[in-house]
Structure formats: C-alpha cells, structure tokens
C-alpha cells in the first residue's frame, strides 16, 4: 500500500459548503421527484450521506432547508430571466418575453427544473407562496416602466396557465403556435392580441 493514497473520509478536511450544497440539491431533487412531503430531515440526510446531526449543523429544521432550496431556485430563475432580458434588444415587454420563454422552454420533467420545483413548493406551502408573491411583485416593480400594461399582464397570466397545465401533465394542443402568439403579443403595437 502506498503512503500517497487518498486520505480516508475521516482524515479528509471537512468541506461544510459542499455538504450544505449537497443537502440543498438533494432536497430539490426529492421535491421534484416525490413532492414536498418527501423532504424530511431523515430522507435528505440519507440521500446526502450525512447524519441527522450533520443536517442540523447546516439547517435547524426541514423548513429551513426548504426555504434555502426555494431561495436558490428563485435565484436560478432570476439568473435565467436576467440572461434572457440582457439578450433582448427591445426593452418594451422584455421581462414578459423572458418569463414566457422560460415557462415554455424549460422541460417540466428535468431534475431540479426551477419551474417544476417552484410549482410543487408554492402549491404545497403557504409560506412559500408568500415568498413567491413577494418575489413576483418585486420583479413587476423592477420592470414597471417596460412591462406594466394590461396586455402584458394578460400574457404573463396565460404563461402561468401553461405552467400549471404542464405541472398536471395536460396536453396543450398547438403549443408551438400558442408560444409564438404569446411572444408576438409582447412587442409594441401588435394587433389581434
């Protein structure tokens, strides 16, 4: 046996940020695959390969972990929307276009998909619905000058309907045409929307 072999887990330096990250990722995966009810201290500890004490070192409760996971998903959604808006040369309706594109383009079945997991969490937990509402209200306030008219509000609400339809696996006939129609409606001076 070589003296340069990899140190055992016992002797390796602890990496608390990696453990915390793993706990959050496993919670997100469990939410996406089995629902919010599956996220328990024991279940997350087991799949993350840490003791309950290790879990409690990072999160005081299941709810603290779920809130951290939810905040991370909102940050991922924020980054996605910001990247889409940065690439959009038309300021009018840019937030609404990004929102619609994100709803239509992210696969609901993808593990860790922010839309799918956010849907599950907001439908299951009143406190997380409040966090979502505050986030959404803040986004609307930030983009008030470019995205506040009634038509754009209607288009975002239609995208929310697609989001919920995807969540319950409803088939939307002519999905591509609907997507194109909603995006067309986000530009200034569009008729028939």
CB 100 within 8 A of CB 186: yes
- Per-residue burial over 29-61, b if 16 or more Cβ lie within 10 Å, else e, is bbbbeeebeebeeebbbebbebeeebbeebbee
For position 31, which CATH number holds?
Answer: 1.10.357.10
> Tokens for 30?
């469990």
Total domains in the fold of the chain:
1
Burial of 150 per CB tally in 10 Å (0-12, 13-18, 19+): exposed
- pLDDT at residue 8 is higher than 80: no
pLDDT for residue 183 = 97
What is the pTM assigned to this prediction? 0.80
Q: Is residue 189 part of a domain?
A: no
Residue range of the domain that includes 152: 16-184
Q: What percent of the chain has pLDDT over 90?
A: 59
pLDDT tens digits, 75-117: 989 999 999 999 999 999 999 999 999 988 865 555 446 667 7
Residue 191 covered by a domain? no
Residue 93 lies in a domain: yes
In this prediction, residue 107 carries a pLDDT of: 56
Residue 5 lies in a domain: no
pLDDT average, residue stretch 112-136? 81
Q: Is residue 163 part of a domain?
A: yes
Task: Judge whether 193 lies within some domain.
Answer: no
- The verdict on residue 51 lying in a domain is yes
8 falls within a domain: no
């Amino acid at each position: 046996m070589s003296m340069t072999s990899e140190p055992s887990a016992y002797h390796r330096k602890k990496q608390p940020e990696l453990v915390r990250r793993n706990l959050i990722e496993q919670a997100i995966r469990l939410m996406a695959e089995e629902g919010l009810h599956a996220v328990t201290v024991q279940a997350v500890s087991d799949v993350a390969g840490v003791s309950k004490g290790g879990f409690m070192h990072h999160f005081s409760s299941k709810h603290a972990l779920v809130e951290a996971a939810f905040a991370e998903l909102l940050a991922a959604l924020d980054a996605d929307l910001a990247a889409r808006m940065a690439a959009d040369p038309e300021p009018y309706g840019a937030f609404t276009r990004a929102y619609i594109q994100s709803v239509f383009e992210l696969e609901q079945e993808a593990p860790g998909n922010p839309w799918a997991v956010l849907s599950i969490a907001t439908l299951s937990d009143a406190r997380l619905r409040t966090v979502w509402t505050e986030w959404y209200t803040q986004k609307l306030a930030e983009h008030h000058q470019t995205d506040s008219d009634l038509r754009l509000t209607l288009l975002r609400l239609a995208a929310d309907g697609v989001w919920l339809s995807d969540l319950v696996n409803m088939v939307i006939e002519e999905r591509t045409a609907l997507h194109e129609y909603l995006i067309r409606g986000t530009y200034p001076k569009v008729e028939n929307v």
